[in-house]
Amino acid sequence: MVNGEPELRLQNALANSPSVYLRAHKDNPVAWQEWSPKTLSLAKRYQRLIFLSIGYNACHWCHVMERESFSSPEVAEILNTFFIPIKLDRESRPDLDDIYMSYVTATTGSGGWPLNVFLTPDLKPVFGGTYWPGPAPTTNLMPATPHDEAPVTFIGILKKMKEVWATQRERCLQSSSEITDQLLAFAGEGIHSHSDSQAREAEPSSSDPPEPLDLDLLDDALSHFISRYDSTHGGFSPSPTAPKFPTPSNLTFLLRIGAAIALPSTHTRFGFFSPVPGILGRESCLTAARMSLHTLLAMSRSGLRDQLGYGFHRYSVTADWNLPHFEKMMCDNAQLLGCYCDAWALGRDPEILGTIYNLVEYFTNPESPIVHPEGGWYSSEDADSRTTLSSMSNGAMSDDKKEGAFYVWTYKEFQSILGERDAAILARHFGVKPDGNVPAQHDMHDEFLTQNVLHIQATPSILAKEFGIPEEEIVRIVKAGRAKLREHRKTKREKPEVDTKIIASWNGLAITALARAANTLATIDKHRATRCQEAAERAAAFVRKSMYDEATGKLIRVTGPPASELDQDADTSNTAFVDDYAYLALANLALYDVALSQPYLDWAVRLQSYLDEHFIASTTGGYFQCPKPRDSSPPEQIIRLKPGTDNALPSPNGVICTNLLYLSSYIQSQHPSRSQSEATTYLSRARAILDAFAVEIIQHPFLYVTLLGATVMEQVGVKTIIAPMTAKESELRRLKGWGRTVVRGIVSEVMICTKDGVCRALKREDLEDVDDLDAEAEEEKGRALGKVDSVSSVGELRKAAVPASA
């Protein structure tokens, strides 16, 4: 008995978790629990600190800490005896991940995964960090000199936290309460435009007018990206040694700016419209185009891309993109597909088109590891795998998983598989060296000795000159060699594990990207365009059938086994969050734009209605990450976040704002009798989002690029276009674009409707976004636009964007 309570003996409870990531820890000696009401009540009942460890299945460093620390009996003894250890899948519970990541970022200056936080029984953070070395660390984190301090270890942290909780509990509780109050100020977005700094929904909103948002903020955001642009390798980072991420939302923003000065065409109508080109100026728009095209081309040629298979890895630890952490995230690749479609439209580079084809295969080929046979896509591929398929003498698989084992090669392997001549050619092509091409300072586990990450170092034209072989023969050799390497990898190596979660929000992003690709490829490759549209529609049907309740309008976040098959103490709520509804509504609007099928628009309306009922911040504007908590249940979140920034995923509030603006236009064109009331409601909610985040957008516009795009759309207005019922698909395509809605109606000619619901015949200048300039200025603008849009200038743009040595 302890304080009148029976002694607590925890057992590992992850064997029946629906999460692949959690089940991977079922054999740990640590008595992991799932996040559930029962587990949280244990912390209160026994007054123990919670040790919360958050990660995801594809995370390399999560695997490292699992091997070093969570498989250690010494670590398990401390955790099981003095703490309540909880494992959490960040992809299933982004709400908790965001709260505690905000805490760790605020207190340590950086974040990442695994995310490890010590919590009081009432869930307030006390101390946290990311990776800490275990009792037998495999990383080379030794002091540089005898005078340097040794790195802190996980065992040391556990002992210290045990001591602090035992001897300084009241101080610890007081400190955690103060930290939580400070955390709201640090992480609370969308509340600073109002006098109520705590954003308590029961109180009235501020009577002060919101901060006005000026379109000059786009120039401020662009200046930030210019200051962080790597003119050598492409991409953006705060320092030459910082990891480099693709950041698709930022690339989309820059591509929209670049397309703003291209002559309107079927493909370039994703750009910002007037008055943005006049505000930013032609040179700034060209700079945005160069930076984004250079970055996307550099990524496509680099080690960040799987040069023998599909898609891109999550990020690179080196500035040249050539040393990734090898996990592949479906959501990253979905967004990048959209970016490459826009890049193709802007630059017409066949290399970009090849990357689009590769990503289309990743999302549509039945043999792709992320494609679910009934529709939709799995969440990720692991960074780590075994180097071979061989098993131990007892038949079990050896536990020799290494990061990137499926993707890296030695020069000797090239010689063995390809033969001497072809090995030399392909080694030069892919940058393969006898001693390996991974810098030693980045090989913390000594896993990459003599190993090479493939990237495009030399093109066929360069190889032809160096080897004295005709270029056509070089192309044949490279193509045949790639096929041999791919086959060897497929048959001789263990494939990375796939996390088979199907996440509603991420599938929404993929559906949107494939709808965009279907439009992009419609005049280039009709077969692939059809595959894109079919895959998008099949995924939408799967989500609606398997993850959506028609009666209540409620989504679940992830697919998994039915509740009856789960442990009775597991967290079975499977709550969908604001991004699930926002991204799926966006997906339905994208599908309606492609197919003009009314059920997609109707579903988008229902998803938005659910957001308005359960997520809206009615007095302060915008939408919370979590639905309103039930009065009968204790709150699981110490703060209720309202996500507005763009990070690896686009801003949910930015996406909702855009969706609302589109919906206001669709309602106006389809239901004139309802347009004044419903369209006005949608518009007012969109404006409320912009008002809610106005202070933050003005202070840091580069963090809010999706909301900046919505600001442009809100101020200029969505163009509402009604085409005759007999209009051909090709005619409809010429009318579509960003900031436009196109529907069929009973009209004899194409009509355009104003914000007030007055419709008239469409004029040519209505879609060319022409400024009100005098004739001479108009002619000068036309000449400038013609230069940008011409094939020769696109070629010059590419040369300026990509170093010749590439």
DSSP structural state of residue 216: T
Q: Of the candidates 220, 242, 222, which has an alpha carbon nearest to the alpha carbon of residue 233?
A: 242
Q: Rounded to an integer, what distance in angstroms lies between the CA atom of residue 591 and that of residue 516? A: 9
Is the pLDDT confidence value at 777 over 90? Answer: no
* Portion of the chain with pLDDT greater than 70, in percent: 85
Whole-Å CA distances, 282 to 269, 275, 286, 781, 785: 17, 12, 6, 10, 9
3-state percent helix, strand, coil for the chain, nearest multiple of 5 = 50, 10, 40
* Per-residue model confidence as pLDDT tens digits over 381-397: 999 998 887 654 455 44
Question: What pLDDT, on a 0 to 100 scale, did the predictor assign at position 449?
Answer: 92
Please give the structure tokens belonging to residue 484. Answer: 């041999």
If residue 431 lies in a helix (H) or strand (E), which one and from where to where? none
Question: What pLDDT, on a 0 to 100 scale, did the predictor assign at position 353?
Answer: 97
Half-sphere exposure (Cβ direction) of 312: Cα atoms closer than 13 Å: 30
Is the pLDDT confidence value at 610 over 90? Answer: yes
**pTM reported for the whole predicted model:** 0.91
- For the residues 605-632, what does the mean pLDDT come to? 91
Residue spans of alpha helices (H) in 329-388: 330-347, 350-364
* Per-residue model confidence as pLDDT tens digits over 308-356: 999 999 999 999 999 999 999 999 999 999 999 999 999 899 999 999 9
Annotate 605-669 with three-state secondary structure: HHHHHHHHHHCECCCCCCECCCCCCCCCCCCCCCCCCCCCCCCCCCCHHHHHHHHHHHHHHHHHH
Whole-Å CA distances, 722 to 42, 115, 737: 60, 51, 14
DSSP 437-505: SS-GGG-TTS--TT-B-----S-HHHHHHHHT--HHHHHHHHHHHHHHHHHHHHHHSPPPPEE---BHH
Question: What pLDDT, on a 0 to 100 scale, did the predictor assign at position 757?
Answer: 72
Between the ranges 536-550, 570-584, 747-761, where is the mean pLDDT highest?
Answer: 536-550
Please give the structure tokens belonging to residue 705. Answer: 């690029």
* Portion of the chain with pLDDT greater than 90, in percent: 73
Is the pLDDT confidence value at 679 over 50? Answer: yes
Is the pLDDT confidence value at 87 over 70? Answer: yes
Q: What's the CA angle centered on 308, arms 307 and 311, to 5 degrees?
A: 60
Q: Are 617 and 693 in contact (CB under 8 A)?
A: no
Is the pLDDT confidence value at 450 over 70? Answer: yes
Is the pLDDT confidence value at 399 over 80? Answer: no
Is the pLDDT confidence value at 563 over 90? Answer: no
Q: Of the candidates 692, 377, 383, 742, which has an alpha carbon nearest to the alpha carbon of residue 535?
A: 377
* Per-residue model confidence as pLDDT tens digits over 778-802: 444 344 443 333 322 334 344 444 4
* Per-residue model confidence as pLDDT tens digits over 663-672: 999 988 776 6
Q: How confident is the model at residue 267 (pLDDT cuts 50, 70, 90)?
A: low
Query: Sign of the CA dihedral 349, 355, 358, 362?
Result: negative
* Per-residue model confidence as pLDDT tens digits over 273-322: 889 999 999 999 999 999 999 999 999 999 999 999 999 999 999 999 99
Q: Are 510 and 363 in contact (CB under 8 A)?
A: yes
* Per-residue model confidence as pLDDT tens digits over 465-509: 999 999 999 999 999 999 999 999 999 999 999 999 999 999 999
- For the residues 162-173, what does the mean pLDDT come to? 95
Hunting for tokens 């696109």 — which residue is that?
794
Radius of gyration of the chain (CA): 27
Q: How confident is the model at residue 143 (pLDDT cuts 50, 70, 90)?
A: very low
Question: What pLDDT, on a 0 to 100 scale, did the predictor assign at position 802?
Answer: 45
Q: Rounded to an integer, what distance in angstroms lies between the CA atom of residue 181 and that of residue 179? A: 5
Q: Rounded to an integer, what distance in angstroms lies between the CA atom of residue 340 and that of residue 298? A: 12
The fold of 20-187 is Glutaredoxin (3.40.30)
Domain boundaries defined on the chain: 20-187, 407-493, 520-561+573-767
Q: Rounded to an integer, what distance in angstroms lies between the CA atom of residue 752 and that of residue 713? A: 16
Q: Rounded to an integer, what distance in angstroms lies between the CA atom of residue 775 and that of residue 767? A: 18
- For the residues 69-84, what does the mean pLDDT come to? 97
Is the pLDDT confidence value at 582 over 60? Answer: yes
**Mean of the per-residue pLDDT values of the chain:** 88
Provide the greatest CA pair distance for the chain. 91
Q: Of the candidates 132, 121, 115, which has an alpha carbon nearest to the alpha carbon of residue 176?
A: 121
Q: How confident is the model at residue 770 (pLDDT cuts 50, 70, 90)?
A: very low
Q: Are 705 and 221 in contact (CB under 8 A)?
A: yes
Q: Rounded to an integer, what distance in angstroms lies between the CA atom of residue 67 and that of residue 134? A: 8
